[in-house]
């Protein structure tokens, strides 16, 4: 690892929780702001609710008080950066792309495929679209905007099409009518989960997300099939947490550094997590677990220990 960083033993700040497939939800019928709700969930459970798919949405709707018609906080909030993501929430870390020359060129936040090449386009345009299901792609020759196309795919199939390789891209290209463009499931996303979960499933209400300034936190409405809208984070409303103590494990990581290593630098922490993830992958555990840093009361992950001796294989190393 760069910078002379040497991982000694699991001893501080690493949070490891069980698979999201078994994520338990808890409805808290107390009105709080989004930041206060986040703190409450982190103190008593794991975090504000993270949602991976429509099954999770339905579970949230079902646990919300049936007599409540307002909105409840979930763990989604506006981030500082945008990234291309798939509508069905798939991880795009090692993503295949087939952009046309000069694309994307900031024409919009959604993506069409035309003659095998991808173009960004305003999501409000009406286009044909490609859905997918377990046995392949479905081409819908009914012009809709991207959001309505996604809703159609989710209602009748699985979701808008994802493409993982040149083989799948060619498969779509050979089946669509030449000269016509179709929506794919790729979109430019600027929202992120409170627990840093990297899947990008979204279930926005019509007209959401908007460009409203200051509305940086997300709530779910029990009506309208649990659709999401953005609100000012100061709004007081009930919320949903996830997780419990039996489904998480907190381990500690101690590191030593030769020279000046900024362990609280996010890029350094990301590098450490990547190395740990590779270890989990080799142990066949990556698909079953997710890991993230847990910050202390001062907002930092690591704290320095001065003049502390660590014995490893009968060798002493001094932290300075």
Which CATH number is 38's domain given? 3.10.100.10
Look at residue 306 in the predicted model and tell me its pLDDT.
54
More confident call, 224 vs 118: 118
Residue numbers of the domain that contains 11: 2-18+249-319
Overall domain count for the chain: 2
Whether residues 116 and 232 fall in one domain? yes
Picking from 159, 147, 182, the residue whose alpha carbon sits closest to that of residue 88 is 159
**The pLDDT of residue 190:** 87
Q: Could you tell me the pLDDT band of residue 138, with boundaries at 50, 70 and 90?
A: very high
pLDDT-based confidence at residue 107 (cuts at 50, 70, 90):
confident
Same domain, 178 and 308: no
Kindly state whether residues 56 and 129 are assigned to the same domain: yes
Choice between 253 and 173, residue whose per-residue pLDDT is larger? 173
Domain end call among 219, 243, 267: 243
- Extract the tokens encoding 175: 């089946």
**Closest residue by Cα to residue 287 from 15, 93, 18:** 18
């Amino acid at each position: 690892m760069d910078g002379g960083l040497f991982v000694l033993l699991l001893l501080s700040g690493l949070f490891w929780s069980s698979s999201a497939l078994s994520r338990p939800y808890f409805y808290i019928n107390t009105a709080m702001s989004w930041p206060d709700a986040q703190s409450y969930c982190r103190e008593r459970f794991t975090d504000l609710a993270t949602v991976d798919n429509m099954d999770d949405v339905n579970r949230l709707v079902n646990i919300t008080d049936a007599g409540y018609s307002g909105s409840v906080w979930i763990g989604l909030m506006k981030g500082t950066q945008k990234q291309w993501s798939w509508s069905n929430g798939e991880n795009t870390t090692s993503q295949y792309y087939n952009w046309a020359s000069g694309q994307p060129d900031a024409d919009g936040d959604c993506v069409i495929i035309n003659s095998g090449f991808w173009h960004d386009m305003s999501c409000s345009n009406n286009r044909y679209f490609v859905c997918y299901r377990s046995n392949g792609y479905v081409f819908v020759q009914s012009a809709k905007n991207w959001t309505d196309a996604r809703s159609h795919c989710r209602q009748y199939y699985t979701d808008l099409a994802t493409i993982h390789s040149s083989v799948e891209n060619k498969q779509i290209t050979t089946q669509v009518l030449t000269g016509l463009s179709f929506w794919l499931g790729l979109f430019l996303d600027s929202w992120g989960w409170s627990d840093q979960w990297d899947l990008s499933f979204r279930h926005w209400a019509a007209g959401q997300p908007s460009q409203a300034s200051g509305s940086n936190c997300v709530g779910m409405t029990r009506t309208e099939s649990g659709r999401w809208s953005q609100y000012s984070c100061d709004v007081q409303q009930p919320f949903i947490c996830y997780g419990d103590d039996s489904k998480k494990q907190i381990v500690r990581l101690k590191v030593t550094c030769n020279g000046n290593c900024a362990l609280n630098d996010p890029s350094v922490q990301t590098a450490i997590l990547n190395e740990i993830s590779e270890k989990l992958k080799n142990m066949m555990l990556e698909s079953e677990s997710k890991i993230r840093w847990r910050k202390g009361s001062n907002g930092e992950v690591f704290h320095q220990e001065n003049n502390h001796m660590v014995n490893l294989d009968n060798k002493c190393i001094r932290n300075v």
